[in-house]
Structure 1
């Protein structure tokens, strides 16, 4: 199945499963992605990604009109934010893909963009697939809105049988928060290389979740930061015991039990 066919199939089945009317791609998203990727030097970026141990940062990626769509969606979804707090590790808010499917279809369309997926495949060198429909992390918004909101050092561990790639896109950044990271931590032949970025709206970061150790530094009073995460996999299969661990982590640390176990709880929207 090609990317376009997969996109259409997932859009339709996701809407039916969620009880919502399917949305129709307007073409505006694909146009924006095309304008983003066409000017880029693919060979140079691929080399940079490899040299940094499966990590790439672009400070200016999405066009202004597409970025504004994300900003508008993030503001509209403020009433849907699920707050969570894990002492010593994280504090903040999240909105899962299930809520995004209902209320912010532009984000879902961006996630499934054939041009974006094709570009990411050239960067990573892998055949990428969409995360399964029941994965609330497939695309999600993360909010840092209160003093002390942060997330500690971690990897985006893949519970799937294959690799999971993380794409971060800056949405709102009226904050002093930074993404601190360490390259090559899983490569015994190279020294760890620390780095730090404060990625603005429209910026993009892509990395192999199992290879990049990273954190988000605490926000201050009166600050606001929102980032969009897109997750792509090389194998969508997940063993039952890993699924249980992944679901519990998502329910406690991110989206709440109602979102993560929505099917079992009979949540239709």
Structure 2
């Protein structure tokens, strides 16, 4: 599926909102967009669908076009910070953590923290959501499938926090055959597992409880290109020291490298 966004044509966000803070512009545009595309009755139906599918929702079209354009700009901005990783039998690809994103593509942090977005996700999930702590490199991250064989095997987005962790997966660019394959209800013995598969277009959305959805990304072929963005929100930001150690080691080895995970400790993490 080819991306419909032309990076060269992406305009400077907020250029017509003279004198406004970029964060305010993000909320204004997103609020108007959701009012058109997801009014209250529609949002209520999507919440019911989310529950019926065991905490999972897929929308082919979610983001305003100008936001998708800004995310494409962000992809180009963070390219020098991509960390390639390979775990035999499990995953291969490139990743950029929130710490590098804060420095190189701050629009992503502004969207992540948008009260309008968080309130809408709360209506879908039925939970009160909080941002991940400032030292969590997974809070928002970009994932690159750009070489033959790039993929991630079957897994859950396991929460190391005391509460639940929700994943918001946004399509950014896609000129690939990669698919998100998933199984619903695997944690509910009385309901049969339900397999599914989607190819998330630019601006599309998948939202799910990370501990409930078993999923994978199928391997990219030669000369294919896919980039996705994830946001992680939690119901309780507390994490025990041992769990934090395990989480940091996993992120260092499997995703971002030790430099991106540990270099920002004590710094200005999370500055939007």
User: Do the structures match in fold with TM over 0.5?
Assistant: yes
Distance 2:177 2:119 in 1: 33
Q: How far off is 1:80 after superposition?
A: 1.1
From 21, 26, 32, the counterpart of 1:35: 32
Distance 2:214 2:22 in 1: 35
Residue pair 1:35, 1:63 contacting (<8 A) in 2 also: no
Residue pair 1:258, 1:267 contacting (<8 A) in 2 also: no
- Which residue of 1 is the match for residue 246 of structure 2? 245
Residue aligned with 1:244, SS: helix
What is the correspondence of 1:166-205 to structure 2 with a 5 Å cutoff?
166-205=167-206
Unpaired stretches in structure 1, ≥5 consecutive residues: 1-23
Q: How far off is 1:78 after superposition?
A: 1.2
* TM-score, scaled to structure 1: 0.88
What do the CA deviations read for 1:22-69 (whole angstroms, capped 9, x no partner)?
xx5353321332133213111110110000000000000001111100
Distance 2:119 2:247 in 1: 27
Q: How far off is 1:263 after superposition?
A: 4.3
Residue aligned with 1:245, SS: helix
- Which residue of 2 is the match for residue 20 of structure 1? none
Q: Which runs of 4+ in 1 moved over 2 A?
A: 24-28, 266-269
- Which residue of 1 is the match for residue 128 of structure 2? 127
* TM-score, scaled to structure 2: 0.87
How many pairs are equivalent?
245
Distance 1:136 1:111 in 2: 13
Q: How far off is 1:268 after superposition?
A: 7.5
Distance 1:161 1:171 in 2: 30
Q: How far off is 1:75 after superposition?
A: 1.8
What root-mean-square deviation, in Å, do the aligned CA atoms of Structure 1 and Structure 2 show?
A: 1.4
- Which residue of 1 is the match for residue 137 of structure 2? 136
Residue aligned with 1:199, SS: coil
Residue pair 1:32, 1:66 contacting (<8 A) in 2 also: no
Distance 1:48 1:109 in 2: 28
Distance 2:186 2:150 in 1: 25
What do the CA deviations read for 1:100-133 (whole angstroms, capped 9, x no partner)?
1111111000000000000001111111000000
Residue aligned with 2:171, SS: strand
Residue aligned with 1:27, SS: helix
